[in-house]
Structure 1
């Protein structure tokens, strides 16, 4: 018996199908717990929310993908100010702008 949906789609096709979504959907949402590539939901998980995703998801995406021009940290590293991490895992506005430009 064959699978219901057939063979999995190649990465190039998947990328084209997701092209109209915000690039921050590539990471999981720390606010609502939505999985990567899934839309954000209400906290209870009952309703899907339209784009744009939660601000904390956009911050997590910028931290994971972009180098910060302000504090010169690599992707995946928290931004800092004077040696101390920014409160709440925030990123510098320049890092978020850099992530949007490179997306």
Structure 2
């Protein structure tokens, strides 16, 4: 099935589920799990959302293109974080 149709069918899911979760290791299109792997999370982990944002949107604050981590004064943000404006742009693109 083409990715464009697959994403339309999964419209109820958070778009960050399209990437692998660096926190819990959940594969693409599968829900995040707790660290003990006993509970399925209703929302993706923040690090998964950040990974998705990095792959899909340009950052209007630090002027980087998709795939490049955000930076502040030449240093990468802690723990792979992204600027809030970049996350807002990614949500607009996904909508």
Give the distance between the partners of 1:23 and 1:63, measured in 2 at CA: 13
Q: How many residues align?
A: 93
CA-CA distance at 1:48 after TM superposition:
1.4
CA-CA distance at 1:13 after TM superposition:
4.1
Give the distance between the partners of 1:16 and 1:98, measured in 2 at CA: 19
- Unaligned runs of 5+ residues in structure 2 are none
TM-score w.r.t. the length of structure 2 is: 0.90
Give the structure 2 partner of residue 42 of structure 1: 34
Give CA-to-partner distance per residue, 1:25-75, whole Å, 9 cap, x none: 01111111100110011113232111x211111111101110000000010
After superposing on structure 2, the runs of 4+ consecutive aligned residues of structure 1 that deviate more than 3 Å are none
Equivalent residue in structure 1 for 2:92, among 53, 76, 101: 101
- Unaligned runs of 5+ residues in structure 1 are 1-9
Give the structure 1 partner of residue 21 of structure 2: 29
SS class of match (1:28): coil
